[in-house]
Structure 1
Amino acid sequence: MLIRIDPSSTVPLYEQVTASVRRALAEQRLAPGDHLPPARQLAASLEINVHTVLRAYAQLRDEGLIDLRRRRGAVVTGEADGHARLATMAKDIVAEARRTGVDAEELVGIVRRAYS
């Protein structure tokens, strides 16, 4: 299954759903135009409340990662492609930082300076 949750985790269920979708985008298991499962179906398969799934989908919509439409459902947007590309680039940057001995805190500083 594309979306997984851990009911014993302290992380709220809706955040686990959103993180799972983001991870699928970053790993390119989801692409623009792909449909997410209908909220009722996903809630039933995960054995969680449908409102939890709807809250997760709303957050993903607000982030620009999916488009929610009646009768069409949740569809991954083109914006998600950019996020996936950034996630891939971030993995490469982290690998290079480790190779050169740059720790996480220093890497964050480098990124902040570059972003300014």
Structure 2
Amino acid sequence: MLLSVDPQSAAPLYEQLAAGVRAGIVDGSIADGERLPSARELAASLDLNIHTVLRAYGDLRDEGLLDLRRGRGAVITAPAQNLTEVEAALDALVAASTRAGLGAETTLALVRARLR
């Protein structure tokens, strides 16, 4: 598993880390039950603040993709096939949004509203 961040990107570093883990789950490079590096180890290897990694791990935990326990570490809890269906639905959403002429922010606002 190779996670990376781009300090020049407009996306926050924690979002880049979380997106990398999500992508790894979907493409199968990160398997259900796999342990991720500790927040301290990952922060050191990517030259990040530990709180940046903890924020990414916390977001993934809140999404149900990661089991995060003190002393046990971070363990993936989402099989890739569960996310594949969601990825397909998202692709359809993006296509429909594009056809309707909606921008990314409008589409995200609609998704956020539905999730509430």
Show structure 1 runs of 5+ residues with no match. 107-116
The residue that corresponds to 2:114 in the other structure is: none
The offset of 1:7, in angstroms, is 0.7
Q: Determine whether 1:12 maps to 2:12.
A: yes
| Larger Rg belongs to | 1
Show structure 2 runs of 5+ residues with no match. 101-116
Listed one character per residue, the Cα deviations across residues 81-112 of structure 1 (whole Å, up to 9, x for unaligned) are 5114543x45997xxx8xxxx99537xxxxxx
The residue that corresponds to 1:53 in the other structure is: 53
CA distance in 1, matches of 2:27, 2:3: 13
**Superposition TM-score, scaled by structure 2 size:** 0.72
1:47-86 paired onto structure 2 within 5 Å: 47-78=47-78, 81-86=81-86
* Secondary structure class of the residue paired with 2:56: helix
CA contact (8 A) 1:66 1:80 kept: no
Deviates more, 1:35-44 or 1:71-80: 71-80
**Superposition TM-score, scaled by structure 1 size:** 0.72
Q: Determine whether 1:37 maps to 2:45.
A: no
CA distance in 2, matches of 1:24, 1:43: 18
CA contact (8 A) 1:25 1:84 kept: no
The offset of 1:59, in angstroms, is 0.2
Structure 1 outlier segments of 4+, above 6 Å: none
